Structure 1
Amino acid sequence: MYRELLGEIVKKGLNRKKLAEKIGVSEKTLRNKLNGKTDFTWSEVKKIRDIVAPEYTLEKLFEKSDTKNLN
């Protein structure tokens, strides 16, 4: 799970459907990528950063968090 990315998506007032449309993938595909089931392409990563948080480094925005340790 990408906590920073998800937080920034919310801050920008985007939802997954809108973001998926902007980067050219289906909502289901984006959901799978955000949940870590499939990987983002380099092109998708750059588009998302440009849309969601251009001030962030890619490493910070796409840092994976371990959901097992959140409980």
Structure 2
Amino acid sequence: MYRELLGEMVKKGVSKKDLAEKIGVTEKTLFNKLNGKTDFTWSEVKTIRKIVSPEIPLEELFKSSDMRC
């Protein structure tokens, strides 16, 4: 799960439905990507960053909560 991304979406008022439409996928596909079942494409990553939070580094925005340090 991408907690930072989800948090930024809430802060910016971007719904999952809106984001799915803007990156050209279904809500179910976005759900699967956000839950780590499928990967985001590079194009999707760049578009999401522009929409949600261009000031946050990609590594931080797309850090998976499943990652262990």
**Does the pair score TM above 0.5?**
yes
Pairwise CA distance, 1:15: 1.0
Question: In structure 1, how many angstroms separate the alpha carbons of the residues matched to 2:24 and 2:12?
Answer: 18
TM-score w.r.t. the length of structure 2 is 0.93
Question: In structure 1, how many angstroms separate the alpha carbons of the residues matched to 2:14 and 2:61?
Answer: 16
1:20 — aligned with what? Answer: 20
- Per-residue displacement from partner, 1:25-54 (whole Å, max 9, x unpaired)? 111100000000000000000000000000
TM-score w.r.t. the length of structure 1 is 0.90
2:39 — aligned with what? Answer: 39
1:50 — aligned with what? Answer: 50
Q: Which runs of 5+ in 2 are unaligned?
A: none
Question: In structure 2, how many angstroms separate the alpha carbons of the residues matched to 1:61 and 1:20?
Answer: 17
The CA RMSD measured in Å over matched residues stands at: 1.2
Q: Which amino acid aligns with 2:13?
A: G
Identity of aligned pairs, percent? 77
Aligned residues: 67
Instruction: List, as ranges, runs of 4+ consecutive aligned residues in structure 1 with deviation greater than 6 Å.
Output: none
SS at the partner of 2:14? coil
Q: Which runs of 5+ in 1 are unaligned?
A: 67-71
